[in-house]
Structure 1
Amino acid sequence: MCRWLAYSGSPVLLEELLYVPANSLVTQSRHSRLGVETTNGDGFGVGWYANAPTPGLFLSTEPAWNDRNLRELAAQTSSGVVFAHVRASTGTAIQQTNCHPFRHGRRLWMHNGLIAAFPLVHRELALAIDPSLYPEIEGSTDSEILFHLALTFGLEQDPPLAVARTVGFVEAIGAKHGVAHPIQMTVATTDGETTWAFRYSSEGRSRSLFHSTDITTLRHQYPDNPTLHSLSPDTRLVVSEPLGDLHGAWREVPESTCLVARGGVEELRPFRPRR
């Protein structure tokens, strides 16, 4: 599968997220602790928000640990909202258009997991995408199909409802074709101000997902930790696996949950598909 992180808070250099932590995303691209695959070397992507109308994207089919340009970019670029993803293909081609995050306007989207029996259900899912959105699809992944289904079902107006409708639709099509467990996912999406993250699978055994605890509380616990004191109180991280071993810094996102983070406030809500 894949590993990803979603950051929001005070502007931070990308290298502080991608390289510096003990279990950084680049480290996870080679030695994932909790992923289905240890190695996630089938490309990577970084999305970030600056002053442009749309977020920036850097995508590559190189393994993240081996890309010199990523290290250069990460050392020079800072942002208050960052999405980053390292890919382990579930069967689709290794090409830039299959690398996450995916972008539509100001919105980013990334996914870990799969649509089961995707070649069997691909055509029917694709035909449900709004015709005005269909020309934007550049790659061949189930993740990009999920994104455009969610856009079709109202992602820009109500992300939790749109994702619930998308998952319900995928499960209905999967059931129609006799697929036992149609979807496995952790998904993150943002408009640059609010981040929504989802953990769900049809079999009730979803891929790992964690969120950071309140920075202010951690500062009291670890007064001598300089990293914690350099982050703003509204800092939030959602990650496929913890970036370090600091006790109390990470909490697991429960099964079938939607996490909403905005302005330093986060909320955990039950997530259920809607047919």
Structure 2
Amino acid sequence: MCRWAAYRGEPLYLEELVSSPAHSLIEQSHCATRAKTATNGDGFGIAWYGDRPEPGRYRDILPAWSDCNLKSLARQIRSPLFLAHVRAATHGATRRDNCHPFVQGHWSFMHNGQISGFERIRRHMEGMLSDALFEARNGTTDSELLFLLALQFGLDTDPFQAMEKAIATVEDLSLEKSGEALVRFTAAYSNGRELYAVRYATDHKPPTLYAAPMGGKTGYCLVSEPLNDEVDTWVEIPDGSAVVVGADGLQATLFRPKALSEAA
């Protein structure tokens, strides 16, 4: 399982999530406490928004704790909205194209979780993509393909409904090809204005997700694990939830993918 942190609020330096806290994301890369695997050393990445619609991005296959460039960048880059991720690979080799966050246009996306039996449905998922989105696929992970599928289903128009449809499609394909569906999905994604996050699993055992206010009156940090021991600060986001952090702060709603047969 991977670990990630995301932020939207008043501009702050990336190091305030990535490297400075007692339990920073770099610390979690080799000593995670709320994941099945304590070490997340199969690469890392950061995506941040500045003066342009498209995010900047830096990724590498080195473990986050061993890359001095990451600490240097985090100390210098100041942003009102950014995503950071350390990877423990479940699908896809350890290569830069498989490191999160994934970026397409003004969207950025990162994921913690898995699609059971992904190899049995991968080709069918790819077949649902437009030519442009299929050609945009650079890596081999289930995470990137799920992101592209959500874009195909209208992420720009309705960020939660598109993700619900993508997850429902994966569940339908899994049931069709193997007779069972297991999706564990905790993800963050952004269009450069709002920060979205989802926590969901078909077996009600999704990877963890916490939120805490940070960076002004409406700013929030979303993380896989709390960045410090201030337990009263961090609120666990329940299974089956979607949250958005925008100009009005954090708002939550239910996340309930429906099988396409039920939605018809």
Give TM-score, length-normalised by structure 2: 0.95
Comparing 259-268 with 154-163, greater Cα deviation is found at 259-268
Residue in 2 aligned with 1:241?
225
Q: Is the 8 Å Cα contact of residues 43 and 59 (structure 1) preserved in structure 2? A: yes
Q: 2:236 aligns with which of 252, 259, 269?
A: 252
Name the amino acid aligned to 1:233: K
The residue correspondences of 1:95-110 to structure 2 (distance < 5 A) are: 95-110=95-110
C-alpha displacement of 1:149: 0.3
Q: Is the 8 Å Cα contact of residues 206 and 239 (structure 2) preserved in structure 1? A: yes
Residue in 1 aligned with 2:33?
33
d(CA) in 2 for partners of 1:179, 1:103: 33
Residue in 1 aligned with 2:251?
267
The alpha-carbon distance between structure 1 residues 62 and 264, as it changes in their structure 2 partners (threshold 3 A), is farther
C-alpha displacement of 1:68: 1.1
d(CA) in 2 for partners of 1:239, 1:75: 19
C-alpha displacement of 1:104: 1.1
Unaligned runs of 5+ in 1: 216-230
Q: Name the SS of the counterpart of 1:165 in structure 2.
A: helix
d(CA) in 2 for partners of 1:111, 1:128: 20
Q: Name the SS of the counterpart of 1:135 in structure 2.
A: helix
Residue in 2 aligned with 1:9?
9
Q: Is the 8 Å Cα contact of residues 25 and 86 (structure 1) preserved in structure 2? A: yes
Residue in 2 aligned with 1:117?
117
The alpha-carbon distance between structure 1 residues 115 and 262, as it changes in their structure 2 partners (threshold 3 A), is same
Q: Name the SS of the counterpart of 1:177 in structure 2.
A: helix
Q: Name the SS of the counterpart of 1:133 in structure 2.
A: helix
d(CA) in 2 for partners of 1:113, 1:247: 24
d(CA) in 1 for partners of 2:6, 2:241: 16
C-alpha displacement of 1:132: 2.1
Residue in 1 aligned with 2:18?
18
Equivalent residues, number: 259
Q: Name the SS of the counterpart of 1:70 in structure 2.
A: helix
C-alpha displacement of 1:39: 0.3
Unaligned runs of 5+ in 2: none
The alpha-carbon distance between structure 1 residues 154 and 271, as it changes in their structure 2 partners (threshold 3 A), is same
Residue in 1 aligned with 2:183?
183
C-alpha displacement of 1:183: 1.1
Name the amino acid aligned to 1:239: V
The alpha-carbon distance between structure 1 residues 69 and 179, as it changes in their structure 2 partners (threshold 3 A), is farther
1:140-183 alpha-carbon deviations (Å, 9 max, x no partner): 00000000000000011101100010010000000011253331
1:62-116 alpha-carbon deviations (Å, 9 max, x no partner): 0000001111111111101010000000041001100111111111111000111
d(CA) in 2 for partners of 1:38, 1:25: 12
d(CA) in 1 for partners of 2:54, 2:134: 20
Q: Is the 8 Å Cα contact of residues 218 and 250 (structure 2) preserved in structure 1? A: no
The alpha-carbon distance between structure 1 residues 264 and 41, as it changes in their structure 2 partners (threshold 3 A), is farther
Give TM-score, length-normalised by structure 1: 0.91
Q: Is the 8 Å Cα contact of residues 43 and 63 (structure 2) preserved in structure 1? A: yes
Q: Is the 8 Å Cα contact of residues 91 and 142 (structure 2) preserved in structure 1? A: no
d(CA) in 2 for partners of 1:19, 1:44: 13
Report the identity percentage. Answer: 38
Residue in 2 aligned with 1:78?
78
d(CA) in 2 for partners of 1:267, 1:88: 29
C-alpha displacement of 1:264: 4.5
Residue in 1 aligned with 2:142?
142
d(CA) in 2 for partners of 1:50, 1:91: 31
Q: Is the 8 Å Cα contact of residues 111 and 188 (structure 1) preserved in structure 2? A: yes
The alpha-carbon distance between structure 1 residues 71 and 8, as it changes in their structure 2 partners (threshold 3 A), is same
d(CA) in 1 for partners of 2:7, 2:220: 6
C-alpha displacement of 1:130: 1.9
Name the amino acid aligned to 2:40: N
Runs of 4+ that moved beyond 4 A = none
Q: Is the 8 Å Cα contact of residues 217 and 249 (structure 2) preserved in structure 1? A: no
Residue in 1 aligned with 2:168?
168
Residue in 2 aligned with 1:224?
none
d(CA) in 2 for partners of 1:146, 1:91: 12
